[in-house]
């Protein structure tokens, strides 16, 4: 009878084993999503915002991250004005979205071809930021 | 009997017509709500925040939008300091709420009669902004 | 036997008493939670952010409030740079959390012993702010 008791004990313990495993890698299973509002043109703010992307990806490698650039913040994504184009390219390759506000582009007479190839154009920053929050993303104001 | 059959067919089809109408403007039925924190007194920020209101209403005509003005941002709603009083009046007439922080008013010795007639006074900007988010509104930081 | 019965009745009635008390102050039981992003070093912003804490606690005495200090905002929590250390100590004693971003600390070469004793160190401000929002906290950008 002994093996049978062992088997019963094993079966009874299975849910506990599964639950223990789930709790051990609970961090990787949780889907974090962060949308960043970025308004500033200066080089300190530009390098700061890509550092903030790095910080969130270091803690949550699977997090979805989107940087929405408007007003002066569009400079981060302009070929001639970006002080962090290398970091934008690197993080973009790892799935981070860099979005340019089309309303800002029209106001500042910036064309799609003036932007880094990684930039994605969205119709309006305020709409993009709101929509992401409606879908459960957290908000962060990027920059210095 | 013909008219009667037509009537019956019409009545039977009514729900289909209503459903078709609903699905055709499903975008307009979705209720977007955006609350904007506005802290800045300068004229560029003032004109920028009303442009941001315009941008969100252009994309989502039925969106509920509230601009919460605190600190220097109160200037947007002060008769003597507002650089965008015409736009405030226009958007207010279309249902946008412009809220003045009463804590800021006390600190800056601003009275209700110093404000544009469209301004609504709320006890505290931080409470107003938090409450709106608790009710499912998205957050945006307005200005330049 | 009488005292024993009284005791049993008392114990049986305890949950009812507790529930009655809870329902009587239902307004206070609503759990408001506000997380504040604070980036600015200047003294006006420092005094402003503790005033904003005061404003939210005045309206919602039971609210959970956390001020997340990053970049220049770390000054609020540095013994040598804080312009509001007394207010930080007072609000901390009343349960407000003042969190210092460890990424900022490393970048600015600030050590735990350079901080006010009330400061709590968190690994990354952006992660802390996002996590709180995931848990249902509202967001506010603190300062002037």
Q: Chain C closest CA to B43's CA: distance in Å?
A: 17
Q: Does the CB of C62 have a partner CB in chain B at under 8 Å? A: no
Give the dihedral of Cα atoms C83, C87, C89, C91; nearest 10 deg: -140
Q: How far apart are CA B34 and CA B63, in angstroms?
A: 7
Q: How far apart are CA B108 and CA B80, in angstroms?
A: 14
Q: What is the pLDDT of residue A78?
A: 98
A-B Cβ pairs (cutoff 8 Å, strict): 41
Q: How far apart are CA A67 and CA A95, in angstroms?
A: 11
Please tell me which chains touch B, using 3 or more CB pairs under 8 Å as the contact test.
Answer: A, C
Q: What is the ipTM of this complex?
A: 0.81
Structure tokens at C20: 């009655």
Q: Does the CB of B117 have a partner CB in chain C at under 8 Å? A: no
Q: What is the pLDDT of residue B24?
A: 45
Contact status, residue C60 vs residue C31, Cβ threshold 8 Å: no
* Cβ separation C127–A52 shorter than 8 A: no
Q: Does the CB of C32 have a partner CB in chain B at under 8 Å? A: yes
Q: What is the pLDDT of residue C16?
A: 43
Structure tokens at A45: 């703010």
Q: How far apart are CA B66 and CA B100, in angstroms?
A: 11
Q: How far apart are CA A115 and CA A105, in angstroms?
A: 10
Q: What is the pLDDT of residue C12?
A: 52
Phi, psi of C63 (to 5 degrees): -60, 145
The residues that bridge with C57 in the sheet, in sequence order, are: none
Q: How far apart are CA A27 and CA A99, in angstroms?
A: 27
Q: How far apart are CA C119 and CA C74, in angstroms?
A: 10
Mutate to test the interface with B, among C55, C64, C91 (most CBs of B within 10 A): C55
Q: How far apart are CA C83 and CA C92, in angstroms?
A: 15
For chain B, residues with pLDDT lower than 70 are 1-29
H-type alpha helices, chain B: 2-24, 26-29, 43-59, 85-93, 102-107, 125-134
Using the CB atoms, write b or e for C59-98: b if 16+ within 10 Å. Answer: bbeebbbbbbbbbbbbbbbbeebbbbbebbeebbeeebbb
Q: What is the mean pLDDT of each run of 10 residues along chain A (144 residues)?
A: 55 46 51 98 98 98 98 98 98 98 98 98 98 98 97
Count of CB atoms situated within 10 Å of the CB of A92: 17
The three-state secondary structure class of B22 is helix
- Ordered strands of the C64-69 beta sheet: C120-122, C97-101, C64-69, C33-38, C138-141
Of C60, C138, C144, nearest to B129 by CB-CB distance is C138
Q: What is the pLDDT of residue A30?
A: 76
pLDDT tens digits, residue range C74-110?
A: 999 999 999 999 999 999 999 999 999 999 999 999 9
State which residue of chain B sits closest to A122, comparing Cα positions. Answer: B59
């Amino acid at each position: 009878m002994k093996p049978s008791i062992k088997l019963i004990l094993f079966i009874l313990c299975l849910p506990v084993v599964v639950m223990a495993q789930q709790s051990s890698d609970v961090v990787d299973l949780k889907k974090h999503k962060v949308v960043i509002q970025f308004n500033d043109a200066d080089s300190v703010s530009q390098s700061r915002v890509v550092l903030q992307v790095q910080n969130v990806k270091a803690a949550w490698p699977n997090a979805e991250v989107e940087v929405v650039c408007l007003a002066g913040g569009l400079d981060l994504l302009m070929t001639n004005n970006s002080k962090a184009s290398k970091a934008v390219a690197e993080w973009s390759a790892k799935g981070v979205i860099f979005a340019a506000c089309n309303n800002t582009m029209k106001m500042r007479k910036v064309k799609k071809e003036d932007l880094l190839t990684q930039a994605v154009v969205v119709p309006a920053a305020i709409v993009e930021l709101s929509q992401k929050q409606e879908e459960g993303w957290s908000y962060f104001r990027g920059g210095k």
